[in-house]
Amino acid sequence: MNMPYLDHAATTPVDARVIERMLSLLGADGIFGNPSSLHRYGRQASAVVEQARAQVARALGADPREIILTSGATESNNLAILGLLANKPRAHVVTSAIEHHAVLDVCAHWQQQGGAVTYVPPNADGQVEAEAIARAIQPETGLVSVMHANNETGVINPIAEIGEVCRARGVAFHVDAAQSFGKLALDMKTLAVDLLSISAHKFYGPKGIGALYVRRRAGLDLQPRVHGGGQERGLRSGTLATHQIAGMGLAAEIALAERESDHARIAALRDQLWDGIAAIGGVTRNGNARACLPGHLNVCVDGVKAHLLLPALARIAVSSGSACTAGATAPSHVLTAMGLSVDAAHRSLRFSLGRTTTASDITEAIGVFAEAVQRLRA
């Protein structure tokens, strides 16, 4: 890439090894059978799907039977939340105020259906505390849903602790792990998490494919949201997208093998970026820097609105607020929930680094950012 791409939290470029794997499956000489068909072509495709399912399961320390393939984290979140509540009319849900819209809007829909939802605010560091979740749980609570790492700030929530709270209170626990899968260790053998959503395009796989982990023997009464051919144990009907699924499987295997070395390298580049940006003066960092994904840097800039800064930063592809609400004038719901003023939220923006980020990208980003901030402040 000739220009720095610092928006990996919105989506990642597909890894070349993943592209090669997907291409090998397409075409008349590929594996084009319907994985549900019983003939030779179908069985070949089904073997590819099951290999990928096992790769995703291994990255989670899960059983392959616990992986339900979906179109991405949005669908996984909908299946987890609405599927679990289907037979619990008006059950109470506990979630956080800093969730992605793929959880917040599902919860708003649940409220429209007559259900109750508590939105727990984070602390000033952007973290959702286990004690705050414990206080919000009521006898009527049917589900707790808290994201692992936030897409805007990169701040990591204590899902192990929150899971223990939920397990002790007998409440199912869903985690949106779209940002953390492939970057942080996730072991379903030790985490008290019942449902967990992932999306391949956040870990160098293709768009339009994801999965929901569903714990076996947890007595979860999960109901499908999509009805039809009965694929995925009846939980998600529809013909399986063999090449997309194989791409996600390989991306998960690569993430498992390279996660730790990527983490160290990317965090070092991110720290270098922060040092360079902080040197400009009048810039503060949003969120807990010690409990943060390696590639995230969310900053608040004195005296300059992000919507004026972004065009000047077009060369380095950064984001103000979350990608899903960019373009809208509303301030980030994540930053305001942390206690930032509306004005401070409008002066904040997100850099997110990834596997393809180089040291020269960082040097260029610091230069472009410093020049733009100084010019707009003048």
Ligand X SMILES: *Cc1c(COP(=O)(O)O)cnc(C)c1O
Which of 33, 72, 115, 249 binds ligand X (CB under 6 A)? It is: 72
Q: How far is the CB of 245 from ligand X (least distance, A)?
A: 14
* The amino acid at 361: D
Is 15 a binding residue for ligand X by CB under 6 A? The answer is no
Task: Please say if 324 is a catalytic residue.
Answer: yes
What CA–CA distance (Å, rounded) separates 101 from 197?
Answer: 14
Is 73 a binding residue for ligand X by CB under 6 A? The answer is yes
Is 151 a binding residue for ligand X by CB under 6 A? The answer is yes
Which of 52, 104, 178, 373 binds ligand X (CB under 6 A)? It is: 178
Choose the stretch contacting ligand X; rule: CB under 6 A; options: 84-92, 105-113, 174-182, 269-277: 174-182
Choose the stretch contacting ligand X; rule: CB under 6 A; options: 16-24, 72-80, 247-255, 341-349: 72-80
User: Is the Cβ of residue 74 or residue 286 nearer to ligand X in the bound state?
Assistant: 74
Closest CA to 159 of 141, 184, 137: 184
Is 156 a binding residue for ligand X by CB under 6 A? The answer is no
CA-CA-CA-CA dihedral for 165, 166, 168, 171, to nearest 10: 160
Choose the stretch contacting ligand X; rule: CB under 6 A; options: 154-162, 175-183, 346-354, 366-374: 175-183
Residue pair 259/243 in contact by the 8 Å Cβ criterion? no
Is 157 a binding residue for ligand X by CB under 6 A? The answer is no
Q: How far is the CB of 319 from ligand X (least distance, A)?
A: 12
Which of 46, 96, 141, 179 binds ligand X (CB under 6 A)? It is: 179
* Residue of minimal Cβ distance to ligand X: 72
Is 78 a binding residue for ligand X by CB under 6 A? The answer is no
Number of residues interacting with ligand X: please give it, by CB under 6 A. Answer: 14
For the record, the structure tokens of 164 come out as 């223990």
Q: How far is the CB of 360 from ligand X (least distance, A)?
A: 27
Which of 21, 100, 243, 259 binds ligand X (CB under 6 A)? It is: 100
Q: How far is the CB of 174 from ligand X (least distance, A)?
A: 12
User: Is the Cβ of residue 102 or residue 132 nearer to ligand X in the bound state?
Assistant: 102
User: Is the Cβ of residue 179 or residue 348 nearer to ligand X in the bound state?
Assistant: 179
Q: How far is the CB of 225 from ligand X (least distance, A)?
A: 14
Residue pair 229/35 in contact by the 8 Å Cβ criterion? no
Residues identified as active-site: 324
* Chain residues in the site for ligand X (CB under 6 A): 72-74, 100, 102, 147, 151, 176, 178-179, 199, 201-202, 210
